[in-house]
Amino acid sequence: MTDLDTRVRQAFDNVTVPDDVKRGTLTYIASIAEASGVSAETAPASAAAPRKHARARIIPLRRAAAALAACLALAFAGFGGFAYAQPTTYVGIDVNPSIELGVNRFGIVVRVEALNGDGESLLDAVSLTGRGYADALSLLTQSDAFSPYAQEDSYIEISVTSDDARQAEAIRQQSDACLSALPCRGSCHAVDEGTREAAVSAGMGVGRYRAALELVELDPSVTLEECASLSMRELRDRIAALSSGDSEGRGSGNGQHGHGGGGGQHGKGNR
């Protein structure tokens, strides 16, 4: 059994039929059975009456069973569809374009969102929905539309937010592998939901927001609005210029990733 098979089974193991669906179905069955009993009592007596009476009860019950099966099938299909369409992990990608990918529990990209104008142009050029995350990230970073942002002097930051530790770890590893194959520098971080929500409120991608906070802390005269117009490389260069030497967690990396403020970095060290 593959890992995907296991995840699908686990997802459907957690599917339950709502109580109101159960109650409604049972009420429907009871009403049919009651109606069947009434019609049987008013039927004319004959030698074959008991047999007809039994048959009259069987047919409605079969219909009721079919209705119950249909309701359950619809319930499972509905909840299965919800499980597929609902993101369990959010991946922010910031260079100058800022976009966010919603990945479901099966590792499929089911939602994409542009967080700035360059992000909109990028998503217009590349279709990512319905692809596995690793495939989608590879397609994105190897596309002609992304090429100008993956030069040696660029900086890409990927942020992963998820309550599923196992999935988050897998996505960070896939992100690290992709970043290590690019000519530019980059890093991948685990980010909590509170930071992601704050970034959304500020109108920025998570990576850009985190870099902006770092820059504002070093230079209080800088505003978040100013940071929103800077590329990730510009933000990182200004942070490096204001920092006293290399701060902990920076420099060349070998595919490691960090949580919160730290993170693994790829490519050339900060200059």
pLDDT value at residue 83: 76
User: Within a domain: residue 22?
Assistant: no
CA distance 249 to 236: 13
Residue 243 covered by a domain: no
Report if residue 183 sits inside a domain. yes
**Segment 89-109 mean pLDDT:** 95
231 — pLDDT class (breaks 50, 70, 90): confident
Residues 6+ apart with CB under 8 A from 68: 25, 29
Could you report the per-residue pLDDT of 120-167, keeping only the tens digit for each? Answer: 999 999 999 999 999 999 999 999 999 999 998 899 999 999 999 999
Q: In the prediction, which pLDDT does 147 show?
A: 94
Burial of 211 (0-12, 13-18, 19+ CB in 10 A): buried
For CA atoms 165, 184, 114, 234, give the dihedral sign: positive
Distance CA 34, CA 18 (A): 25
Residues spanned by the domain of 130: 87-201
- Does 19 fall in a domain? no
In a domain? residue 162? yes
pLDDT tens-place string over residues 156-199: 999 999 999 999 999 999 999 999 999 999 999 999 999 999 99
Check which CATH number belongs to the domain holding 133 and give it.
3.90.1010
Residue 206 in any domain: the answer is no
The pTM of this model reads: 0.63
Q: What percent of the chain has pLDDT over 70?
A: 59
Tokens for 80? 């299965």
| Average pLDDT of the chain, as a whole number | 77
- Can you tell me the distance from the alpha carbon of 43 to that of 48, in angstroms, rounded to the nearest whole number? 11
Q: Measure Cα distances from 21 to 28, 34, 62, 84 in Å.
A: 11, 20, 19, 21
In a domain, 184, yes or no: yes
Sort 80 into a burial class: Cβ within 10 Å, 0-12 / 13-18 / 19+: middle
- How many structural domains comprise the chain? 1
Query: Is residue 10 domain-resident?
Result: no
**Number of Cβ atoms within 10 Å of the Cβ of 39:** 13
